[in-house]
Amino acid sequence: MSKRPSLKRTLGMTAISIGLTIASGVSFAKEVTIGYQGMFNPWKYAIDQELVEKETGVEIKWRKFDSGAKAISAIASGSVDLTVAGSSPIATAVSRGVELVWIMENIAEAEALVVRDGSGIKSPSDLKGKRIAVPFVSTTHYHMLFALKEFGLTEKDVKLVNMQPNAINAAWARGDIDGAFIWDPVLGSIKKDGSVLISSKELSSWGKPTFDGLIASKEFTSESPQFVAKLIKIIAETDEMYRQAGVTFSEDHPIAKSVNKVVGGEPEQVVEAMALYDFPTIPTQVSCQWLGCEMEGGAAKALLYTSEFLLQEKKINALQEDYSAFVNPAYANMALTLTN
């Protein structure tokens, strides 16, 4: 397990052994553009309550993306400074000058392949010839392809349709598709007249884990390390607020209300959906389980395994030599010192 960095406090400054500092009264960039997606997570409370703006004094331009592929295109073009994306699209983007700085959530059961009632799909073999919707180059696309392989099927056996979440919801309502591999709020909606054939939690246990992560352009992190650390601290605090609620978490909780406001969906669906995720603490984030330990770390391994599969499926052209080069725990370590 990676060790927590040594600290030295002098005249309002926190010096960190990794060579980055946060000084009292530090000034941030005037404007930062941050991308997010429609996952049900505590961070939506920070977005709704403008906590980043209030605690940093920075004007934040928030951009919502329907898929990780669109988020990756935006950060690659320089139109956003940081964004949330799934581990599969992140794996396709590591060579584009980005680094993973935080695990938003371990996906677990929050993504699943749901088949329509009456579709005739009772087992994996019944998927042959069926129309299954999935946002391409997403974590669900990656797990869909992995599931087909494990089921002894190929893309030629199933009619995979590239659809964004809102389009999936509409297509499901019209009866145009037989199934979909997707996340909430669409997941909760289609479960009402469908059943889960397999979830990402089970597929992860087969050796192909997935997560949602916060990535940033290396240019931005080099210029504004203090802002990244402060942002992570705010995200971690909203996660802790959710954990503290425990079994009392309900649709009336401020976080649930914010998630419902920012993302949509039914209020009671928010509570059920968030229970499917795991939101790692800062110490867990910087440990070998996720961002720490270089290539032995969970995040680096997940990016490698994802990339190996995507290469096999011809979704990428080559593997990178060292995926830990794109995983940086420094800012989470900085955020850890800010909580003391």
Taking the C-alpha atoms of residue 240 and residue 279, their distance in angstroms, rounded to an integer, is: 9
Taking the C-alpha atoms of residue 158 and residue 173, their distance in angstroms, rounded to an integer, is: 21
pLDDT for the residue numbered 26: 58
Taking the C-alpha atoms of residue 235 and residue 227, their distance in angstroms, rounded to an integer, is: 12
For the cut 70, the answer to whether the pLDDT of residue 11 exceeds it is no
Question: 255 and 42 in contact (C-beta within 8 Å)?
Answer: yes
pLDDT for the residue numbered 261: 95
Q: DSSP of 249-291, one letter per residue? A: --TTSHHHHHHHHHH-S-HHHHHHHHTT-B---HHHHTSTTTT
Question: 71 and 84 in contact (C-beta within 8 Å)?
Answer: yes
For the cut 50, the answer to whether the pLDDT of residue 60 exceeds it is yes
Model confidence pLDDT, tens digit, residues 306-328 = 999 889 888 899 999 999 999 99
Question: 43 and 235 in contact (C-beta within 8 Å)?
Answer: yes
CB burial of 61-79 (b: ≥16 within 10 Å; e: otherwise) equals eeeebbbbbbbbbbbbeee
Model confidence pLDDT, tens digit, residues 82-136 = 999 999 999 999 988 999 999 999 998 999 999 999 999 999 999 999 999 999 9
Taking the C-alpha atoms of residue 242 and residue 268, their distance in angstroms, rounded to an integer, is: 15
Q: Give residue 197's identity as a one-letter amino acid code.
A: L
16-20, 50-54, 189-193: least confidently modelled range: 16-20
Residue 5 DSSP class = P
CA angle 52, 53, 58 (to 5 degrees): 110
Query: Can you name the residues that pair with 31 across neighbouring β-strands?
Result: 59
Higher pLDDT, 21 or 84: 84
Which pLDDT band, with edges at 50, 70 and 90, does 23 fall under?
Answer: very low
Which pLDDT band, with edges at 50, 70 and 90, does 208 fall under?
Answer: confident
Cα–Cα nearest to 1, from 287, 299, 244: 287
Write down the pTM of the prediction: 0.85
pLDDT for the residue numbered 137: 86
Which pLDDT band, with edges at 50, 70 and 90, does 186 fall under?
Answer: very high
Mean pLDDT of the chain: 90
Q: DSSP of 17-45, one letter per residue? A: TTS-EEETT----SEEEEEE-S---THHH
